Amino acid sequence: MSKLSPKPTDKNPKKSWKDLDSTLQAAFKIPTKDMELTILVDTYEMSA
């Protein structure tokens, strides 16, 4: 009897458009002169 490999689980599931919107809303809510925001595209699962 052989064992099946367990399905890979993503401990950090991909984020959606809604998550991106929330991040941007929070970042631009209180704009500052030295504001900097980095969006890591690998953490988002985007579709058209």
Calculate what percentage of the chain has a pLDDT beyond 70.
Answer: 88
The range of the structural domain enclosing residue 20 comes to: 14-47
Examine residue 2 and state whether it is found in any structural domain, yes or no.
no
Under a CB-based contact definition with an 8 Å cutoff, are residues 45 and 16 in contact?
Answer: yes
Q: Regarding predicted confidence, which is higher, 31 or 43?
A: 43
Examine residue 36 and state whether it is found in any structural domain, yes or no.
yes
Query: How far is 38 from 48, CA to CA, in rounded Å?
Result: 22
Domains: count for the chain: 1
Q: Please give the pLDDT value at position 6.
A: 72
Q: What is the arithmetic mean of pLDDT over 11-30? A: 87
Query: How far is 42 from 15, CA to CA, in rounded Å?
Result: 9
